Amino acid sequence: MTVPSLKCSIAPVQASAPGAQLLVLGPSLGTTSELWSAVLEQLTGDYRVLRFDLPGHGFSPATREPFTVGELADAVVELVDSVGGGAFHYAGVSLGGAIGLEVAARHPSRVLSLTVFCTGATIGTAESWRERAAQVRASGTASLVAQSASRWFAPGFLDSEADAGGATLNALLTVDDESYALCCEALAEHDMTARLGEIAAPTLCVAGEHDQATPSEKLRELARGIPNASYQQVAGVAHLPMLERPRKAAALILERTGARGHASPPARPADAHEQGMSVRRSVLGDAHVDASIAKTTPETADFQDFITRYAWGEVWSRPGLDRRSRSLLTLAALIAGGHENELGMHVRAALTNGLTRTEISEAILHTGIYAGVPAANSAFAIAREVFAAIDDKPVKG
């Protein structure tokens, strides 16, 4: 295996801001960096934007040596180093999203934020990717155009946006066949499932409503596996939201990066309840949420919907704080307010969000100084019960 050579283009930030951060954009298999053209104007209001091409796509040279998705991630970091290095934001779609997951896991200190569209810890099946690699070696990328048209775009898009859709499909014809096949074989081996917990960057996982290649549940599952991730679905699109709804895709990236100034204000999720349920399950666990839902009565149904939409779908989903920080604030607020009935639940949530037992204890100690020793004493008792239950040990004393 080898680290392939990648080429890129860089769009400067519009404003006079020499210290502007770098945003890296990764394309889907079979497309070029032109896929991101419609979002550039919005993104360069705040960032220098680097768009790279996959091996044998666009400006990147063809290759004949096999590589892994992880080696593509290393190639991206080398590319960033060649233009000045440092930490950067990353957004990618499909294979470009898979590369972003690898970059964030392999080079955690380099990634400031991660936005992944229409991707997954795995994509498709190993068998299907090997079959596609064989098809391209036998018949070329031209043999993929019809199936790509139905897979990439939502119904009606090619009728209403014939120029944009046609240009993207035509770019597929220019891709080097062997390089494309090697990308397929890299995806056949791609599996981040066991390593998602290594991703520390604030992450947004975005699904397309009509995407069949990476359905919405795939992105919800991905968000549940990454410690500091949230989920959004873009309505009316399939596999390429940045082409089908560029303003929405750009707004989601800017929301995740925390851009200010030229960025649009954070958009409320199209379905705050769905978003909230995804975050609620990710933080509290399926067992707890299922038990809460099972206890819902006609009298409490509106309240359950309220906390799911507003607590989890809006506040916990905002990009301004990571989940570790939100857990620390929640613990302090519950201790100070004497809300012991929910404290145990949020001690567990804090562990899920990456806090250690020592850090939780420090948070309780610190809160005790400002909220009172009795409150901290009660909190320590509750935390001890939670830790003991996790360890399946009886509480002593």
Pick from 22, 82, 8: nearest CA to 259:
22
Does residue 240 surpass a pLDDT of 60? yes
Which CATH fold would you assign to the domain 8-257?
Rossmann fold (3.40.50)
Q: List the structure tokens of 68.
A: 């892994």
Is the fold of 8-257 the same as that of 272-391?
no
> Alpha-carbon distance 196 to 222, whole Å?
8
Q: How wide is the angle at C-alpha 313 spanned by C-alphas 235 and 200, nearest 5°?
A: 95
Pick from 249, 231, 230, 253: nearest CA to 240:
249
> Alpha-carbon distance 191 to 358, whole Å?
32
Q: What is the CATH number of domain 272-391?
A: 1.20.1290.10
pLDDT tens digits, 18-44: 678 999 999 999 999 999 999 999 999
pTM, rounded to two decimals: 0.68
pLDDT tens digits, 282-341: 888 888 888 888 888 888 888 988 988 889 888 887 766 778 888 999 999 999 999 988
The 10 Å Cβ neighbour count of residue 209 is 15
Q: List the structure tokens of 332.
A: 């302090």
pLDDT tens digits, 199-225: 999 999 999 999 999 999 999 999 999
Give the contacts of 179 (CB within 8 A, at least 6 positions apart).
54, 55, 56, 57, 62, 63
Dihedral of alpha carbons 18, 20, 26, 31, sign = negative
Domain ranges in the chain?
8-257, 272-391
What angle do helix axes 272-284 and 286-294 make, rounded to 10 degrees? 120
Q: List the structure tokens of 186.
A: 């890299």
Helix, strand, or coil here: 106? Answer: helix
Does residue 88 surpass a pLDDT of 80? yes
> Alpha-carbon distance 188 to 145, whole Å?
21
The one-character DSSP state at 93 is: E
Least confident of 130-144, 168-182, 204-218, 263-277: 263-277
Q: List the structure tokens of 20.
A: 């502007």
